[in-house]
Amino acid sequence: MAETKTIKFHIRRYDPKKDKEPYFKTYDVPFQPGMVVLDALHYIRENYDPSLAWRYSCRMGVCGSCGMLINGSPTLACNTQVATLGGTEITIAPLPNFDIVKDLVPELSKMFEKHVAVSPFIVRDEKELDDEKGEYYQTEHQLEQYLQLTYCIRCGCCMAACPTLATDPDYLGPMPLSQAHRYNVDTRDGGRKTRNEKTGSSHGAFKCHFAGECSRVCPKGADPAKAIQHMKRQLVFDFLHLIKNQKPCEKQHGPGNEPKKDVPPAPPYTV
């Protein structure tokens, strides 16, 4: 019978309640075909140390909670096949550029505060359900302007890779900036001028020096670096008043756009 290959996992451990500083501890894990890094962490917790801490939820690259530094690159533990890493030694540490809660758990609150600060939603004067008839139409070209950025799962891997964020913790960073751009270029949105106050600030898009690391590590192919360069051009054009006063697109009414009869009415507002 073939011998099972053993992988050595060097894992950075840190419990702020008892450790003065982080340290690495090594665990042997038997390799199984198809094993992802997340499986190895479960093995370690079940067989060696139940106190090992990390975040995860979906196990399928969707929730964005299992971002960590694997062999020096920020990526998702559930989406990283051990076999593709090569060799028999793997080093795992928490995402850089974040404070650490415990072991592999980064403190993501500041990233989400920056995200919220750029109003990452469609801003319009009227509520969509105020007029329940009609639809917002977009051409394929208009959809393409932001579609790629909708794949972002807020995992923070781009923030961990960004050299600017490493030197300026107040820099908005690739995720919040690219998400601001996602809404700025959506024809249904009217919030660009308000977002400019943040995105054009001294900690905004012009701090990015286009190293492109954020896009290189993004596990969803969202390309925040490209979005930020487009945003810089938009900010300059806005500053020079070269962008026509764009209004968010109106709902289209007409034959074929009446609500279908057998569809139940929208639920009442809950907040």
Which residues of the chain form contacts with ligand SF4 (CB under 6 A)? 152-158, 161-164, 174-175, 178, 208-214, 218, 220, 222, 224-225, 228
Q: Which does 208 bind (CB under 5 to 8 A by kind): ligand FES, ligand SF4, none?
A: ligand SF4
Q: Which does 211 bind (CB under 5 to 8 A by kind): ligand SF4, ligand FES, none?
A: ligand SF4
Q: What SS3 class is residue 105? A: strand
Q: Which does 175 bind (CB under 5 to 8 A by kind): ligand SF4, ligand FES, none?
A: ligand SF4
Nearer residue to ligand FES within complex by CB, 155 or 214? 155
* Nearest distance in Å: CB 145, ligand FES: 26
- Please report, as ranges, the residues that interact with ligand FES according to CB under 6 A: 56-59, 61-66, 76, 78
Nearer residue to ligand FES within complex by CB, 66 or 235? 66
Beta bridge partners, 89, equal 8
Nearest Cα to 217, choosing from 104, 86, 71?
Answer: 71
* Nearest distance in Å: CB 24, ligand SF4: 25
Question: What is the 8-class DSSP label of residue 205?
Answer: G
Which value, to the nearest 10 degrees, does the dihedral of the CA atoms of residues 170, 12, 66, 116 take?
Answer: -20
At 261, list the tokens. Answer: 């009869």
Task: Please provide residue 63's backbone torsions phi and psi, each rounded to the nearest 5 degrees.
Answer: -80, -25
Q: Which does 116 bind (CB under 5 to 8 A by kind): ligand SF4, ligand FES, none?
A: none
Nearer residue to ligand FES within complex by CB, 57 or 252? 57
Nearer residue to ligand SF4 within complex by CB, 7 or 231? 231
Q: Which does 90 bind (CB under 5 to 8 A by kind): ligand FES, ligand SF4, none?
A: none
Q: Put the strands of the sheet holding 23-30 in their side by side order.
A: 23-30, 6-13, 89-93, 67-70, 73-76
Which value, to the nearest 10 degrees, does the dihedral of the CA atoms of residues 33, 36, 38, 41 take?
Answer: 50
* Nearest distance in Å: CB 229, ligand SF4: 8
Spatial separation of the C-alpha atoms in residues 144 and 43, rounded to whole Å: 42
Residue written as token pair 């196990």? 59
Spatial separation of the C-alpha atoms in residues 75 and 85, rounded to whole Å: 12
* Nearest distance in Å: CB 53, ligand FES: 14
